Amino acid sequence: MSEPTLHHTPCPDAHGSHRMAWWSWGNPQAGHVVVCVHGLSRQGRDFDVLAQSLCRRAGSGLRVVCPDVVGRGESDWLGDPSGYQVPQYAADMLVLLAELQPAVLDWVGTSMGGLIGLGVCAHQQTPPVRRLVLNDVGPAIEWQALQRIGQYLGRAGSFDSLQQAADALAEISRSFGPHTPGQWLALSRPMVKPLDRCSGRLRLHYDPSIALPFRALTEEQARQGEAALWQVYDQLRLPTLLLRGAESDLLSPATAHAMTQRGPRARLQEYAGVGHAPTLVADDQVQAVADFLLG
């Protein structure tokens, strides 16, 4: 399968409902489902390479589902930007899981997607998450990294071409590590949409208002959230793989080490020359996740 199928699921919110888009790879009848959830300003097609690799390896026994978190990709935008926070995102995922009804559930979460995964794990559900992959994220997030992300989030402008957009995204995404031009163009293509019907110009895929609650976050609130996340993490009892870019400014070495000693005692895999966050495109990154989930 070279392309996924696109689906939509209605999800309730404080002011009614919205549709969450999700991309499906592999066998739609498979009982084993891997849910892959992207980072703050990304979208579900980030996982194309990983999803295809997992499906090739597992054959007909696997389905990989990659949502566009609300406000991103093909999902609706919220009327009230205050809803752009992890509790709403996790609630949406629980609605999706109730629809999918997997027999076996694994979770791969990059950055924000990992935090959403922790939120999902905190709920009693059937089935529970069997295996968890946290990609460059943990309960403690470095405040300086949040400030760095806030400098560009929601301030994208428009572009004359896909290549111009890819170049601009590369500039703010240097920490993702080395990619070939072809790999980066493939990652960038789903990141843009037509600005209008006539000009041919492009814009980033997400609602700029996702930045509003992010920028309103204070350092004190972040520390309070950290304590709550550690409480969730410490209660986990499932195999957990923690991926970390060796140069990450978001997931510190100290936090990563603590995650190997607490809660599920995550298995840590680091990647030299990569910061926040590994894109799960490089062969060694894909193999690490595939071996953990399917090995």
Dmax over CA atoms of the chain, in Å, equals: 56
Mean confidence (pLDDT) of the chain = 96
Reply yes or no on whether the pLDDT at 188 is more than 70.
yes
Beta bridge partners of 10: 19
At 124, is the pLDDT very low, low, confident or very high (cuts 50, 70, 90)?
A: confident
- For residue 155, what pLDDT is reported? 82
DSSP at 255: H
Q: How many residues does the chain have?
A: 295
More confident residue, 213 or 151: 213
- Nearest CA-CA partner of 37 in 104, 101, 96, 107: 107
Order of all β-strands in the sheet with 104-110 = 5-13, 16-26, 62-68, 32-37, 104-110, 129-135, 240-245, 267-271
Eight-state DSSP code of residue 263: T
Q: Which residue has the tokens 């629809």?
A: 99
Domains of the chain: 5-143+222-294 (3.40.50.1820)
Query: What integer pLDDT is reported at residue 126 of this predicted model?
Result: 86
Q: What is the pLDDT of residue 281?
A: 98
> What local confidence, expressed as pLDDT, does residue 1 receive?
58
CB-based burial, 91-103: b 16+ in 10 Å, e otherwise: bbbeebbeebebe
Characterize the bridge pairing of strands 129-135 and 104-110: parallel
Residue 267 is encoded by which pair of tokens?
């298995």
What pLDDT score does 276 carry? 97
- Residue 107, token pair as written in the block: 């979770």
State the pTM of this model. 0.96
The per-residue DSSP string of 171-229 comes to HHTGGG----HHHHHHHHGGGEEESSSSS--EEESS-GGGHHHHHH--HHHHHHHHHHH
Residue 125 binned pLDDT confidence (cut-offs 50, 70, 90) = confident
pLDDT the model gives residue 197: 86
